[in-house]
Structure 1
């Protein structure tokens, strides 16, 4: 339990930093005079943490979990200081990149360490705890950030990381001292790591720029995509020729690993996108304020760890994972279709559908991770775990970027149908302001027209999202079923 406590602290640090900043972005942009770069304060952390996740997994297999996780915590600690002391928006964005480089290791290495100390048969239960930490971070992050910014300063959302990081480092160093320190001979593939990091960064930044409404035809944006894809092609060539690749491509030939990574990608594609789009729909179509929209997302946030807890318990009892993944992958697209047609003013019915979606996603998270760990040799558990974490984070980054880009296009098209919105004012901003307008006679008709156009856009978007989710059950149907192993060598040696 001491080990699990330290790992939960590390995961909490990495997960909390993804949500605590969003609510105070306007105040940060106002003080640092950087409204144009405001979105990059969030995107910089997300892109950096996604890129380094598989690299941390490989390094922890080679060098040992304790040293690699300690490095990630120290880097996160130092980057948090840099964030708190930033005087300009570019300084803050660079510090957030460094913080993401540490945050990616906090999550992936902690989950791999759980695989070292918990038998496979019981691992689903502990992965349920991990999902619970994610849910707590998702709910508590905006609240904590709002209170700290209101009563102290936005800089305290970074200062608060320091005591938590020091406590996590102390517990991890003490609790993991008996774990193997990575004794096998190794040669780190630095070229592969650089190609992978550079290529994926280019692609993710390209998608992020699209999600922020920038045109794909500009030379800078298109150049990012071309350079990123070229680096990824070179990365594949590099990994096939080296003896000890950074990411073993042969692992992706294992059907269980490939299918589980794709299904986890789709889970977070939907989860992160819905976490962003649903509150926006509640505001634009339902006419509620930002705080109420955030509260209405709670049923989705709470049901995910509950579904993960159920999944972990059932895996411990039955030793099987495929039925859980199949049930979750079948229910998720149905729930998204239901969200498309449920009136956002119907609070109770919307909450019930969100609970159904959250349970479906929760069933797949621990079962996909444990199935992947069960399908690879013990010495590759770290990189396999990092691949699942990478798939989840990549799904979230791609989901937000792609669906936000589609939503912007749909809203612009819908706004063009309203004659008096086709002037010089930006159509999206005009639609948002009119949808949130009061109920006086002069504005109620405009608000009603805008909300109707926006509802058509959101409904179309949700149906497209559900169509993407339909890929998962077809893949899971081909997933090989294997009984979970009763123990791991490390766990058995610690009994």
Structure 2
């Protein structure tokens, strides 16, 4: 099924933007990206208070997962709609949806209502993240894009670091409602800046159909798949009957989606893009990079709290260097890409750093803070080097008319990588803990063992048994880190096998 939009006329003769105009546009996009990225982390600290007020502890994990799933599903669709209708209109609509949903979140009177509002907010957030990065490809040459993608990575880092801090302060001194009300002035600023700075962006003048059937099938398939993955990340068994049913439905929906895309006049995701080796490899690199990012952000603080006497504050401090290292690596990678006009060697260096760093972390004493910070910083730089290079490589490999959907696919790969990373690593850690636990504690589930080890509430045992317990936990974490290192090694093979295409220095017309 498809409908044909009445595209607005082109806005006159295309001209390139000046450096000053580009800087203004990028500044506005950074505000939009901070807005979308902030909402991924700002609610984490407020969840216990929120669940208590709204009386729905069982919905707690879905307040975050609902947003992340909606972001992942909406990014490729927003990318395609930006190709059809123009980025300015899509960015404005994403901001409006996001702000409207923020009001609903702030006024939620129950946890199911909160989860529903977060889904709507995630749809807007996906548009903010996807369309903003595609706009850079509309105004900057491929060779210059790396530097500007580095600025975007800095925006993500600001959002990820500031989110929990802002959420905690607002919840403690005002109320959790303010973590959503605060979006309104930021969103209004993003809307006004985007309207003023993006006025010269061209709008498509050719009428093309919208693949509504493909969009619906893609949404249904990805949603069921990501719900199943999220359930595993929340502690449900992988072979749980409901998970298996969701996975089967996802396979059917995605098979129908592929059939629809082959016959659609203007597919929502042209399958020829997935057949492009550079696009496919770039998406896989981003997918793996975010699995590794999740591995570090979850396993490092969890290992420290379980195996040492450290509290949550010290565990959080160990992640600060990582939060700085990733945007630093992205900035270095983008700058080198602009100077050298190539990306594969930069990707290869970054991809090689990650498995080595993860393997070294696996054999490092969790109490050796200096060494842990060193290895996680190296891993963060390696991840950062891959982010702008992979996005720009994918954009550089397609025609300008496919920039939006390609950028959406790249953003989607990052989101799915995070979701899959949580599911794989928590499942692996739980299974290894259960396997290595002393016989006296096998009656406890892995999740309960983790909770009691962190809180120091395990049943009384002898010193020898406690030593065995700690040794078992250390072995489980070591092998989980080694699993993540093996996954990261796939990126090295990809970088060696995929061809490189020279980055154009020609700036696109506005």
The answer to whether the superposition gives a TM-score over 0.5 is: yes
Deviation at 1:411, TM superposition (A): 2.1
1:481 aligns with 2:483: no
Contact 2:147/2:338 (CA < 8 Å) preserved in 1? yes
Partner of 1:460: 479
1:421 aligns with 2:441: yes
Contact 1:76/1:102 (CA < 8 Å) preserved in 2? yes
Taking the aligned partners of 2:332 and 2:462, their CA distance within structure 1 comes to 48
> 1:151–1:454: structure 2 CA closer, same or farther, 3 Å change rule?
same
Partner of 2:115: 93
Partner of 2:104: 82
Corresponding residue SS for 1:22? coil
Q: Among residues 21, 37, 40, which one is paired with 2:43 in the alignment?
A: 21
Contact 2:296/2:376 (CA < 8 Å) preserved in 1? no
Partner of 2:75: 53
Partner of 1:143: 165
Taking the aligned partners of 2:293 and 2:442, their CA distance within structure 1 comes to 34
Partner of 2:226: 204
Taking the aligned partners of 1:482 and 1:39, their CA distance within structure 2 comes to 42
Spell out, residue by residue over 1:193-232, the C-alpha distance to the aligned partner (whole angstroms, 9 max, x if none).
0000100111111111111111344443221111111000
Taking the aligned partners of 2:309 and 2:469, their CA distance within structure 1 comes to 11
> 1:283–1:71: structure 2 CA closer, same or farther, 3 Å change rule?
same
Q: Among residues 256, 259, 262, which one is paired with 2:278 in the alignment?
A: 256
Partner of 2:255: 233
Contact 2:225/2:250 (CA < 8 Å) preserved in 1? yes
TM-score by length of 2: 0.92
Contact 1:321/1:367 (CA < 8 Å) preserved in 2? yes
Partner of 2:4: none
Q: Among residues 85, 99, 105, which one is paired with 1:63 in the alignment?
A: 85
Deviation at 1:489, TM superposition (A): 2.6
Taking the aligned partners of 2:442 and 2:406, their CA distance within structure 1 comes to 51
Q: Among residues 449, 471, 479, which one is paired with 2:490 in the alignment?
A: 471
Spell out, residue by residue over 1:82-113, the C-alpha distance to the aligned partner (whole angstroms, 9 max, x if none).
11111111111111111111100100100000
Taking the aligned partners of 1:447 and 1:2, their CA distance within structure 2 comes to 59
Contact 2:76/2:412 (CA < 8 Å) preserved in 1? yes
Corresponding residue SS for 1:477? helix
Contact 2:140/2:508 (CA < 8 Å) preserved in 1? no
Taking the aligned partners of 1:168 and 1:443, their CA distance within structure 2 comes to 59
> 1:384–1:431: structure 2 CA closer, same or farther, 3 Å change rule?
closer
Deviation at 1:443, TM superposition (A): 8.3
1:371 aligns with 2:393: yes
Partner of 2:137: 115
> 1:172–1:435: structure 2 CA closer, same or farther, 3 Å change rule?
closer
Taking the aligned partners of 2:406 and 2:161, their CA distance within structure 1 comes to 29
Deviation at 1:183, TM superposition (A): 1.7
Give the aligned CA root-mean-square deviation in angstroms.
1.8
Contact 2:278/2:498 (CA < 8 Å) preserved in 1? yes
Aligned residues: 488
Contact 1:421/1:427 (CA < 8 Å) preserved in 2? no
Contact 1:437/1:443 (CA < 8 Å) preserved in 2? no
1:8 aligns with 2:30: yes
Taking the aligned partners of 1:485 and 1:427, their CA distance within structure 2 comes to 52
> 1:446–1:289: structure 2 CA closer, same or farther, 3 Å change rule?
farther
Give runs of aligned pairs for residues 241-320 of structure 1, distance below 5 A: 241-320=263-342
Return 5+ residue gaps in structure 1 as ranges: none
Taking the aligned partners of 1:422 and 1:331, their CA distance within structure 2 comes to 37
Contact 2:430/2:446 (CA < 8 Å) preserved in 1? no
Corresponding residue SS for 1:490? coil
The answer to which of 87-96 and 429-438 deviates more is 429-438
Deviation at 1:444, TM superposition (A): 6.7
Give runs of aligned pairs for residues 173-212 of structure 1, distance below 5 A: 173-212=195-234
Taking the aligned partners of 1:168 and 1:6, their CA distance within structure 2 comes to 6
Spell out, residue by residue over 1:5-52, the C-alpha distance to the aligned partner (whole angstroms, 9 max, x if none).
111111111111111111221111122222222111110001110011
Contact 2:139/2:508 (CA < 8 Å) preserved in 1? no
Taking the aligned partners of 1:426 and 1:312, their CA distance within structure 2 comes to 45
Taking the aligned partners of 1:463 and 1:217, their CA distance within structure 2 comes to 24
Taking the aligned partners of 1:406 and 1:25, their CA distance within structure 2 comes to 26
TM-score by length of 1: 0.95
The answer to which of 320-329 and 400-409 deviates more is 400-409
Deviation at 1:447, TM superposition (A): 5.3
Partner of 1:411: 433
